[in-house]
Structure 1
Amino acid sequence: MSSDVPDTPDVPAEEIEPVRIEDEMEQSYIDYAMSVIVGRALPDARDGLKPVQRRILYAMEEMGVTSRSGHRKSSSIVGETMGNYHPHGDSAIYDALARMAQDFSLRYPLVDGQGNFGSVDGDPPAAMRYTEARMAPIAEELLADIDKDTVDFESNYDDRLTEPVVLPARVPNLLVNGASGIAVGMSTNIPPHNLGEVIDAAIHLIDNPDCAVADLIDTPDSDGYIKGPDFPTGANIVNREGIWDAYTEGRGRLRVRAEMDIERTDRGGDRIVVTELPYQENKARRIERIAEDVQEGKIEGIRDIRDESDRDGVRVVIECKRGSNADVVKNQLLEHHLENTFSIISLALVDDQPRVLNLKELLEAFVGHRREVVRRRSQFELQEAKDRAHILEGRLVALDNVDDVVDHIQNSDDRDAAMAALRKAYDLSEDQAEHIVRMQLGSLTSMEAGEIETEYEDVQAEIERLETILNDESELLGVIKDELRDIKAEYADERQTDVIEDAGSVTREDLIAEEEVVVVVTEEDYVKRMPLSEFDPQHRGGKGIIGSRPKEGDRVSTVFTASTHDYLLCFTNQGQVYRLKVFELPEMGRTARGTSAVNVLDLNDGEEITAVVNTDDIDEGYLAMATEAGYVKRTAVSEFENVHAGGIRAVSLEDDDSLVDVEVTDGDGDLLVGTKHGMTIRFDESDARPMGRSARGVNGIKLEGDDRATGLVAASSDDDRDLLTVTKNGYGKRTPLSEYRRQSRYGKGLVDIKTDERNGPVCSLDAVSEDDGLVIMSESGQIMRTTVDEISTVGRNTKGVVVMSVDDDDRIAGIDVDSAE
């Protein structure tokens, strides 16, 4: 049987090199691994993109599928990308395209998609022939100036075209959108971040290149910039240690917890409503697993689970059984299903080598890239400007010698001869002469001449600006900062993910339902909290009901209302201030005495809480303080940002003085100081200049005899509220604040209320609105809730009416205003 294949003679190899098979296998595997690492799996630290993502965006740019164009079929984009730049299969390209369009995967999606691109339930995207896409506006910022020689290009896979090695990237995309990928022997998992925070950190790094990593991290103890990852699905990060490790070492583990609330149903039961899930959580699968655990008895207290999610967001309703403890159910859900671990590995390519980077190094890679992009762009624009200036100089020569130029051209045999004549006559370059020969006669008008001169001046100014940028590093960095600020102004938004203070996987705070409570403190420092709902509102003049039973010889000294999730600043009579978490106070019944305050506050002997300020109310402004001796002081709230467990000094006091009240002010209002004998003075708070925490303050009111200051109120100049004054014997009144005219500081003031034998001395001063509620407590432990509108509005220097009836041996201990706002 003959063969059509010709015989091929054996040709001996010119050189044979023996190689051990294990060495060849090792080197071949390393080559393969690096090709996967560099060519497919890991992002570049400069633009934060993997090759497939970069090629998709560049293909869309070449196709003209920008944010200003119409949407195009995803299949056409995939085909263009695969045919020209990424010959690795259409499914890999479409998967990458779809992920860039998912607002639950990327914090700032790079693709604007139409159609089904998947869901948080794990549904896959529709086939590429059914979906359409175009670039999102922020994606165009990654490609901005790519046509100005800002980045290097390399040949595509078949040498027909060229593609960018990296994108110019005005946006710090690696941190902003994160990245995940598994290579050979290594993986990366960088979480998304808030754009505004990352840009602020980048600008700080530009201004302070020698700063420490810690300077870039925003913690309760430092004024940094990046609080932590900011997931597009929201939820909560519950351990700062993981954030610190990830930012300082490049590796860390976060606990991410779902956002949920406990709601009371119309039938009196409880339901847990989940509104945000941990990042990359499959909602449908998670609901299935919760249902399976309920059926198997691993989770108790749940009677129904419903998924009420829609396009506006996640809403999973978990109905609790009647009589079950919703906090316990919530704890079980957190432990098993609604709190996940997110491992951070900040691995990216730097000079085509995989490196684990800390936060500063990630930002340095971006800033260094932008420095090179801006430098190359400036060089490109400078050359263009110089070329344009060169042409304009030629046109100006032609305009200055217009008649001669026309004669030279008319007297020449052809265009080349005309160009040669012009070059010889006016020492022009070839480009200038060619441009003049091609000029239209209409461009020789005086108006056109003025426009050319103006343009020439503008081009010269632009040349000077660009040369300054290229010759002055600070100017170049200034351009980078300005562009970053523009990006922030255009695209930055609020954080989606909150960082919870406590680092535990399930904290005590998270297990306490948020509710309004009454906090009671006694003279011997016993403290407790009770639900405010246990006290029904009454008409004024009632006796209230038992709210505490102090031990014999002890009396109630302070009462105030708060939310269980509030963080409070507690000021004491000795001038100290402590930070208190309300949920840490023990919840007890109405007849309970309470527990010793030393378990939650490190109080000294004889130290009593005399004023409480909610930290939610003191973002800025001042804390105004009044002492029994009539001194008043204002201190900036920034001085109280770091109140530790042992307390800090709030005001310096003389031996016979004590702190009686504290108010939050904005610096532009008035202060009113009231005394036990019923005198009240009102003065401009600017009369009491701001002082440090260690200062004593200035005289606020002039006291006579044994009179002592007892309360402080902050009011604006046009405040339409009333001043509520209550005496020890349970009488009180409210008078419009407008009736208290402004005086100079350190006067005697005006008579506010009569303090005769019936009324007794003043014990409380508050600014109130008619819709506000009141919680009043006597020293023996009686509590009454009422409303402000129950108390008559009368003028100054009157006796008032019965607010709360107290026994002969009892007195009012304190009043707290439950604001209607």
Structure 2
Amino acid sequence: MTTKPILPGDGPIEPVELRTALEERYLAYALSTIMHRALPDVRDGMKPVHRRILYAMRELRLNPEGGYIKCAKIVGDVMGNYHPHGDMAIYDALARLAQDFAVRYPLVDGQGNFGNIDGDNPAAGRYTEARMTETAALILEGIDEDTVDFRPNYDGRVEEPVVLPAAFPNLLANGATGIAVGMATSIPPHNVDELCAALLHLIKHPNATIEKLVEMIPGPDFPTGGVIVEPREQILEAYKTGRGGFRVRARWTKEETTRGGYQVVVTEIPYGVQKAKLVEKIADLMSEKKLPLLGDVRDESAEEIRLVLEPKTRAVDPVLLMESLFRLTELDVRVSLNMNVLSNGQIPNVLDLRNVLWQWLEHRIEVLVRRSTHRLQKIEHRLEVLAGYLIAYLNIDEVIRIVRHEDDPKAKLISKFSLSEVQAEAILNLRLRSLSKLEEFEIRAEHDKLSKERRELKQLLKSEELQWEHVAGEVKETREKYSKKTALGKRRSTFDDAPEVEVDLAAALVEKEPVTVILSEKGWVRALKGHQDDLSKLEFKQGDELKRALKAFTTDKLVLFATNGRFFTLEANALPGGRGHGEPLRLMIDLEENHDVAEIFVHDPSRKLLVASTGGYGFIVPEEEVIASTRKGKQILNVTEPEEARVCVPVDGDHVATIGENRKLLIFKLDEVNEMTRGKGVILQRFKDGALSDARVFKKSAGLTWLDSAGREFTLSWSELKEWAGERAQAGKVAPKGFPRSNSFGPRF
């Protein structure tokens, strides 16, 4: 069977460019997603699904003081009347509003299994029941008093609210997340007490700065607690721009156990983290040997979270243990802030903190005006009716006669007593039993009371100042109800600075014990337990003797400076023990046969070093730059044979003293020496013959000190040293009397 092609003019078919059609249809889809699904309204802080759930629950009269009803019934009403989407999507949204670990101030009071922080799903809607909380009732307060606009639902049968009155600052209090087309929103929850404080300040000072508001709202307040470690300046910047984030960490404590051990107990985990997945992730990392400091993890949670972390050894520092976990697990997460919301329910934009608060206040003013206008109309109507009742009471017999005998009593009443249509209708609708109660003083009392209320409402509607006072009063009531003194209002998340700790996992596993490192002239090294002072009984191989001995700890790094200008790094705990003569150093580092170790010392990353060669060249290098990560070491001082690297001394002072093999001493300012990370350096002291023997950095105020061959200490003050003071690169003068024949200032470290 052949299909006849459709030709132009064969029917109501209009040619449309594919690009135009796609643009129009995709734009319609995008707008629908942005406005009717993903982004919350700045006024009530709700997406349509949440607004419809609460409104449907109100229509079902599920008030906080009332009974519960099956969630399946609620979901059915929401889907049938307002939200024509999947029932699971509606039920998931409903269940989340009841989860106290997901919502800071729950809007649904759930009965049954609504899921848990482990990540388990709620029970099916036919098993669970729900009603509204006090907070939800506050958000809906006044909805039947013409406070908000209504629109037809999806099929035009009933009407739904465009926005809720929201006497509760729900957007910031409970936060919101959503992904639309080309944009997203992410607002963490905050503390209502703090929000109300900022709102009251904003009412009093409409031009308040965000800096001032952030003093009152220091940051989010998550339902699961935790510790916010984001720097204050970055929090301020996030609230200023409406974009940013907050680093949140688990709260933990150290618990002592038997035999001097301890365990870490996590009592609060970051917002949005599922505990079961967290424990599973930690266990996986342990099996992959990525958490060498952790020995075991146990979940002992019941009502409260209790996650037990046992260290590998009791020597592991608990702060280091937690820092290693924070870096690799969701015990430390970043909660983003992107205050992308709908203004007036139509305009998607990113607002700063002040704008979010101000637009909520403007909404409350609008609600107040509409509610007052509605009440005023009701009062006007009632006063008109009361005036008619008063006339009827004063002329009761005539009224009864007219009603009984006249063919058109309504028209007769209007003409006889000059009544309005409303008054005549009200009199005709009176029941006989009410006539006995229509006493004059009751009617007048109600009339006076309503007249007074009408005057007050008219004053309120005329005065912006009174309106703001009224809104401030409402905010104060909300603040009192959700005060930090209450269980619900108490702040759960706290603020702290993250400790600046370098996590060296290998070093952290080492127990800190004192050792004495022994290096012999022939390059044999060992580590004796404890800090030894008497080294006279040390034994060496035949023809060998002590070169250097230094006190250290097993957790220290040892830095070696070789005569080829290379630096090598050794771990103190990796050195052979004190039994025997140790091991050759060249088995641990790749040191050339024709070179030797010039200096060995314990690493101090905060220190700087002065390095120099026998040719008199040198420079200053930060000690953290000399650490080598391989056996080959790190080339720092460049030397050309026959010169060799000789001097490596700590920089602690403002002047440098250099001494040559020709016994000439030169003193100059430290500022004249360059700071570098690698190179040959600058000339420190010039020699016609001979070479540089030693150098020392000292403080001018303390003077220059050296040790003689007998170990006695000598110090010359600056006034005695002036003769040798000069500038860098000079030849110097012969050293003072008494200076050691070794041409050395003594031990360098």
Taking structure 1 as the reference length, what is the TM-score of the superposition? 0.57
Question: Paired residue for 2:142?
Answer: 145
* Cα distance change of structure 1 residues 177 and 418 upon mapping to structure 2, 3 Å threshold: same
Once residues 448 and 290 of structure 1 are traced to their aligned partners in structure 2, the CA distance between those partners, rounded to angstroms, is 79
Instruction: Look up the SS of the partner of 2:298 in the other structure.
Output: strand
Once residues 13 and 207 of structure 2 are traced to their aligned partners in structure 1, the CA distance between those partners, rounded to angstroms, is 55
Per the TM alignment, residue 444 of structure 1 is displaced from its structure 2 partner at its CA by 4.4
Structure 2 residue aligned with 1:165, among 162, 166, 183? 162
Stretches of structure 1 that go unaligned for 5 or more consecutive residues are 2-7, 219-224, 509-598, 600-821
Equivalent positions of 1:242-281 (< 5 A) are 242-281=234-273
Question: Paired residue for 1:498?
Answer: 494
Equivalent positions of 1:633-644 (< 5 A) are none
Structure 1 residue aligned with 2:372, among 363, 374, 378? 378
Once residues 507 and 259 of structure 1 are traced to their aligned partners in structure 2, the CA distance between those partners, rounded to angstroms, is 20
**Structure 1 range deviating more: 19-28 or 263-272:** 19-28
Once residues 448 and 506 of structure 1 are traced to their aligned partners in structure 2, the CA distance between those partners, rounded to angstroms, is 83
Is contact 1:301-1:325 (8 Å) kept?
Answer: no
Is contact 1:113-1:132 (8 Å) kept?
Answer: yes
Once residues 433 and 36 of structure 2 are traced to their aligned partners in structure 1, the CA distance between those partners, rounded to angstroms, is 56
Question: Paired residue for 1:78?
Answer: 75
Structure 2 residue aligned with 1:477, among 460, 468, 471? 468
Deviation readout 1:738-781 (Å, 9 max, x if unpaired): xxxxxxxxxxxxxxxxxxxxxxxxxxxxxxxxxxxxxxxxxxxx
Residue 56 of structure 1 pairs with residue 50 of structure 2: no
Is contact 2:320-2:501 (8 Å) kept?
Answer: no
Question: Paired residue for 1:358?
Answer: 352
Equivalent positions of 1:654-803 (< 5 A) are none
Is contact 2:406-2:412 (8 Å) kept?
Answer: no
Aligned length: 491
Once residues 44 and 274 of structure 2 are traced to their aligned partners in structure 1, the CA distance between those partners, rounded to angstroms, is 29
Deviation readout 1:65-93 (Å, 9 max, x if unpaired): 22122111111111111111111111110
Once residues 127 and 375 of structure 2 are traced to their aligned partners in structure 1, the CA distance between those partners, rounded to angstroms, is 42
Is contact 1:110-1:136 (8 Å) kept?
Answer: yes
Per the TM alignment, residue 12 of structure 1 is displaced from its structure 2 partner at its CA by 4.7
Structure 2 residue aligned with 1:344, among 334, 337, 341? 337
Is contact 1:300-1:329 (8 Å) kept?
Answer: no
* Cα distance change of structure 1 residues 51 and 507 upon mapping to structure 2, 3 Å threshold: farther
Per the TM alignment, residue 438 of structure 1 is displaced from its structure 2 partner at its CA by 3.1
Structure 2 residue aligned with 1:209, among 206, 211, 214? 206
Once residues 446 and 102 of structure 1 are traced to their aligned partners in structure 2, the CA distance between those partners, rounded to angstroms, is 52
* Cα distance change of structure 1 residues 434 and 23 upon mapping to structure 2, 3 Å threshold: closer
Once residues 299 and 65 of structure 2 are traced to their aligned partners in structure 1, the CA distance between those partners, rounded to angstroms, is 37
- Residue 319 of structure 1 aligns with an amino acid whose one-letter code is E
Question: Paired residue for 2:387?
Answer: 393
Residue 236 of structure 1 pairs with residue 232 of structure 2: no
Once residues 294 and 237 of structure 1 are traced to their aligned partners in structure 2, the CA distance between those partners, rounded to angstroms, is 26
Instruction: Look up the SS of the partner of 1:489 in the other structure.
Output: helix
Structure 1 residue aligned with 2:113, among 96, 116, 125? 116
Per the TM alignment, residue 441 of structure 1 is displaced from its structure 2 partner at its CA by 4.7
* Cα distance change of structure 1 residues 474 and 89 upon mapping to structure 2, 3 Å threshold: same
Residue 289 of structure 1 pairs with residue 281 of structure 2: yes
Once residues 434 and 136 of structure 2 are traced to their aligned partners in structure 1, the CA distance between those partners, rounded to angstroms, is 41
Question: Paired residue for 1:41?
Answer: 38
Once residues 167 and 507 of structure 1 are traced to their aligned partners in structure 2, the CA distance between those partners, rounded to angstroms, is 51
Per the TM alignment, residue 228 of structure 1 is displaced from its structure 2 partner at its CA by 0.7
- Residue 373 of structure 2 aligns with an amino acid whose one-letter code is Q
Instruction: Look up the SS of the partner of 2:248 in the other structure.
Output: strand
Residue 368 of structure 1 pairs with residue 368 of structure 2: no
Q: Over aligned residue pairs, what C-alpha RMSD do you find?
A: 2.3
Deviation readout 1:99-119 (Å, 9 max, x if unpaired): 111101110011111111111
Instruction: Look up the SS of the partner of 2:259 in the other structure.
Output: coil
Per the TM alignment, residue 467 of structure 1 is displaced from its structure 2 partner at its CA by 0.9
Structure 1 residue aligned with 2:319, among 315, 327, 337? 327
Once residues 206 and 162 of structure 1 are traced to their aligned partners in structure 2, the CA distance between those partners, rounded to angstroms, is 34
Is contact 2:45-2:169 (8 Å) kept?
Answer: yes
Deviation readout 1:786-805 (Å, 9 max, x if unpaired): xxxxxxxxxxxxxxxxxxxx
Question: Paired residue for 2:694?
Answer: none
- Residue 386 of structure 1 aligns with an amino acid whose one-letter code is E
Once residues 483 and 505 of structure 1 are traced to their aligned partners in structure 2, the CA distance between those partners, rounded to angstroms, is 45
Instruction: Look up the SS of the partner of 1:456 in the other structure.
Output: helix
Once residues 329 and 59 of structure 1 are traced to their aligned partners in structure 2, the CA distance between those partners, rounded to angstroms, is 50
Is contact 1:44-1:348 (8 Å) kept?
Answer: yes
Instruction: Look up the SS of the partner of 2:258 in the other structure.
Output: coil
Instruction: Look up the SS of the partner of 2:348 in the other structure.
Output: strand
* Cα distance change of structure 1 residues 327 and 504 upon mapping to structure 2, 3 Å threshold: closer
- Residue 480 of structure 2 aligns with an amino acid whose one-letter code is A
Per the TM alignment, residue 188 of structure 1 is displaced from its structure 2 partner at its CA by 0.6
Once residues 304 and 9 of structure 1 are traced to their aligned partners in structure 2, the CA distance between those partners, rounded to angstroms, is 76
Question: Paired residue for 2:542?
Answer: none
Once residues 153 and 434 of structure 2 are traced to their aligned partners in structure 1, the CA distance between those partners, rounded to angstroms, is 45
Per the TM alignment, residue 486 of structure 1 is displaced from its structure 2 partner at its CA by 1.6
Is contact 1:255-1:505 (8 Å) kept?
Answer: no
Stretches of structure 2 that go unaligned for 5 or more consecutive residues are 484-488, 504-606, 608-749
Per the TM alignment, residue 446 of structure 1 is displaced from its structure 2 partner at its CA by 7.6
Per the TM alignment, residue 447 of structure 1 is displaced from its structure 2 partner at its CA by 7.1
**Structure 1 range deviating more: 141-150 or 18-27:** 18-27
Per the TM alignment, residue 53 of structure 1 is displaced from its structure 2 partner at its CA by 0.6
Deviation readout 1:706-725 (Å, 9 max, x if unpaired): xxxxxxxxxxxxxxxxxxxx
Instruction: Look up the SS of the partner of 2:439 in the other structure.
Output: helix
Deviation readout 1:492-540 (Å, 9 max, x if unpaired): 411111122x3667699xxxxxxxxxxxxxxxxxxxxxxxxxxxxxxxx
Equivalent positions of 1:619-638 (< 5 A) are none
- Residue 327 of structure 1 aligns with an amino acid whose one-letter code is V
Per the TM alignment, residue 290 of structure 1 is displaced from its structure 2 partner at its CA by 1.5
Is contact 1:44-1:350 (8 Å) kept?
Answer: yes
- Residue 497 of structure 1 aligns with an amino acid whose one-letter code is S
Once residues 295 and 15 of structure 1 are traced to their aligned partners in structure 2, the CA distance between those partners, rounded to angstroms, is 66
Residue 298 of structure 1 pairs with residue 290 of structure 2: yes
Question: Paired residue for 2:196?
Answer: 199
Instruction: Look up the SS of the partner of 1:386 in the other structure.
Output: helix
Instruction: Look up the SS of the partner of 1:354 in the other structure.
Output: strand
* Cα distance change of structure 1 residues 407 and 26 upon mapping to structure 2, 3 Å threshold: closer
- Residue 325 of structure 2 aligns with an amino acid whose one-letter code is L
Once residues 328 and 91 of structure 2 are traced to their aligned partners in structure 1, the CA distance between those partners, rounded to angstroms, is 34
Instruction: Look up the SS of the partner of 1:365 in the other structure.
Output: helix
Instruction: Look up the SS of the partner of 1:481 in the other structure.
Output: helix
Once residues 182 and 371 of structure 1 are traced to their aligned partners in structure 2, the CA distance between those partners, rounded to angstroms, is 30
Per the TM alignment, residue 200 of structure 1 is displaced from its structure 2 partner at its CA by 1.6
Name the larger-Rg structure: 2
Taking structure 2 as the reference length, what is the TM-score of the superposition? 0.63
Give identity over the alignment, percent.
46
Residue 420 of structure 1 pairs with residue 398 of structure 2: no
Question: Paired residue for 1:448?
Answer: 439
Once residues 126 and 479 of structure 2 are traced to their aligned partners in structure 1, the CA distance between those partners, rounded to angstroms, is 35
Structure 1 residue aligned with 2:478, among 484, 487, 490? 487
Is contact 1:334-1:506 (8 Å) kept?
Answer: no
Per the TM alignment, residue 464 of structure 1 is displaced from its structure 2 partner at its CA by 1.0
Per the TM alignment, residue 430 of structure 1 is displaced from its structure 2 partner at its CA by 1.5
- Residue 118 of structure 1 aligns with an amino acid whose one-letter code is G
